[in-house]
Chain A
Amino acid sequence: MANRKEYFYFIDTHTAGEKIAIVEKATNVVSKNGWTSNYQTVKTAGSNILKIRGSFLDSALVNNALDGSYSNIPARFHEAIVSKVIARGYKDPRHMELKTSQFFDNEFELGVKRAKKFSKGNYQTTGRIVPQDF
């Protein structure tokens, strides 16, 4: 049976930004100043791809491509993003209209609510209810 290796990741904030660390479990292998750690830096020779599944920001709009758009947010949610900008504009002291601002903030919140529902729509969970005697 092949030797099963256990790897772990953890996150830390460095001066150069957020970093991800990969370590390998190695019981009592790493020692320093009388201390022993059960985790060592990965010693596997050769390159391994680290796949990170998670949520990301969409790519930002750029000034010189006005026919471009947000490529990963469905188009029906773009109006919610616009609503937030309009709401911000009405909070600007030069054109302050708090009631109108609140209306567009609500439009944004409705968009957020619909988008949350949409993004959770792909999750499928199955379960079984187990009867219990008390």
Chain B
Amino acid sequence: METKEMIELIQQHHPHIGEVEAIKLLNRSMEEFCERTDIYKKTDNSITTVADQRWYSVPSGLLKIEEVYFDDVKISRLQGNPIINDES
């Protein structure tokens, strides 16, 4: 369904809601929908690691991690944090 069709459906019930507000509300509902259903799953490979760097920003829009591969090998999640951070 195209954005304009969605807006038209909303405005049939709520003519006072403008386009910009409708889009904001649609996106907020979409976030709840994705969070509750896990409908959009993908493999993100936007992070490239380099030597001596420990922390990397997670990809945008990430809700839940299922698996992580480092250099094509599946790695496990560490319970807790290591007591020493030796990142240079």
Nearest CB on B from A68, distance (A): 6
Contact call B56/A51, Cβ cutoff below 8 A: no
Indicate if A27 sits at the interface (CB-CB under 8 A).
no
Q: Which residues of A contact B37 (CB under 8 A)?
A: 112, 115-116, 118-119
Indicate if A130 sits at the interface (CB-CB under 8 A).
no
Q: Which residues of B contact A31 (CB under 8 A)?
A: 84
Instruction: Name the interface residues of A102-116: CB closer than 8 Å to any CB of B.
Output: 108, 111-112, 115-116
Contact call B52/A50, Cβ cutoff below 8 A: no
Query: A112 vs B35: C-alpha distance in the bound complex, in angstroms?
Result: 10
Query: A14 vs B55: C-alpha distance in the bound complex, in angstroms?
Result: 10
Q: Which residues of A contact B31 (CB under 8 A)?
A: 57
Chain B contact residues, majority secondary structure: mixed
- Whether A54 contacts B65 in the complex (CB less than 8 A), given A49-B45, A82-B9, A85-B26, comes out as yes
Q: Which of A37, A51, A67, A68 lies in contact with B83, CB distance below 8 A?
A: A37
Nearest CB on B from A4, distance (A): 10
Instruction: Name the interface residues of A39-71: CB closer than 8 Å to any CB of B.
Output: 39-63, 65-70
Chain A contact residues, majority secondary structure: mixed
Q: Which residues of B contact A39 (CB under 8 A)?
A: 78, 82, 84
Query: A53 vs B44: C-alpha distance in the bound complex, in angstroms?
Result: 6
Instruction: Name the interface residues of B56-71: CB closer than 8 Å to any CB of A.
Output: 56-59, 61-71
Contact call A73/B64, Cβ cutoff below 8 A: no
Q: Which residues of A contact B44 (CB under 8 A)?
A: 51-54, 56
Instruction: Name the interface residues of B24-76: CB closer than 8 Å to any CB of A.
Output: 25-27, 29-45, 47-59, 61-73, 75-76
Q: Which of B7, B25, B41, B48 lies in contact with A50, CB distance below 8 A?
A: B48
- Whether A49 contacts B9 in the complex (CB less than 8 A), given A81-B33, A84-B32, A119-B41, comes out as no
| A-binding residues in B (CB < 8 A) | 1-4, 6-7, 9-10, 13-14, 16-17, 19-20, 22-23, 25-27, 29-45, 47-59, 61-73, 75-78, 80-88
CB pairs A–B below 8 angstroms (10 shown): A9-B78, A18-B62, A23-B82, A51-B43, A54-B66, A54-B67, A56-B62, A68-B2, A73-B39, A119-B37
